[in-house]
Amino acid sequence: MDSLAIKPEKEQKTLWIITWIVVFVIGTILWIVLSLTVNLLTFGIASSVWLIIMILIVIWIPAAFNALEYYIDDEGVKMKGGVVWKKYVTVPYPKITNVDITRGPLQRYYNIGTIHVQTAGAAGKQGEKAELKLTGIRELDKIRDVIIKNVKDPTYSSGSIREPGKELIPEEKSTVFTNILDELKSIKRLLEEK
């Protein structure tokens, strides 16, 4: 399989800016209330900190957007991002259990969404604890289908690569299930003894 490189759509940066504007407006309202209730020194310090944070966020948004990239290749689904601290995440296909799509109201307006790639270790509401989130994606169904196709690829078996076209022999399946059943029975027996 050829590696598929995906960049978030520019509308994702717009959503981050809208979020920043909402936070800025709420902060400004709080700033006005604060100016009426505290002394001048406290107000000056709080105002300075607030402005520095807001300026840093304005600088951070385009840098974070430009650094964010997703890849789908033979190994799994990958993400590269980060402005100050670089982050590289790889979720191998054999570990993937769910591939979900979420779209909030503004994402629907901009025709983008988020693909959540989860493993068995993920917990919580849909996509909340996903190991990898592909944010700002336009062709959600197509990309989800590519990931699912690679997850279901018959060359993968329990985390190890199997010869293409070679399936498990029914006797091997039976032996595995028998071993599991025997183990469960022994656990049950131990629990009943206590």
CATH of the domain at 135: 2.30.29
Let me know if residue 183 belongs to a domain.
Answer: no
Q: Which domain holds residue 108?
A: 1-164
The domain tally of the chain equals 1
Task: Determine contact, residues 60/54, Cβ cutoff 8 Å.
Answer: no
Which of these ranges, 4-13, 112-121, 159-168, has the smallest mean pLDDT?
159-168
Which tens digits make up the pLDDT trace of 34-57?
778 878 888 888 888 888 998 999
Let me know if residue 37 belongs to a domain.
Answer: yes
Let me know if residue 41 belongs to a domain.
Answer: yes
**Which residue is it, tokens 């100016």?**
35
Let me know if residue 182 belongs to a domain.
Answer: no
The better pLDDT of the pair 149, 155 is held by 149
Let me know if residue 146 belongs to a domain.
Answer: yes
Let me know if residue 178 belongs to a domain.
Answer: no
**Which residue is it, tokens 């039976």?**
174
Helices of type H across 7-97: 10-37, 40-67
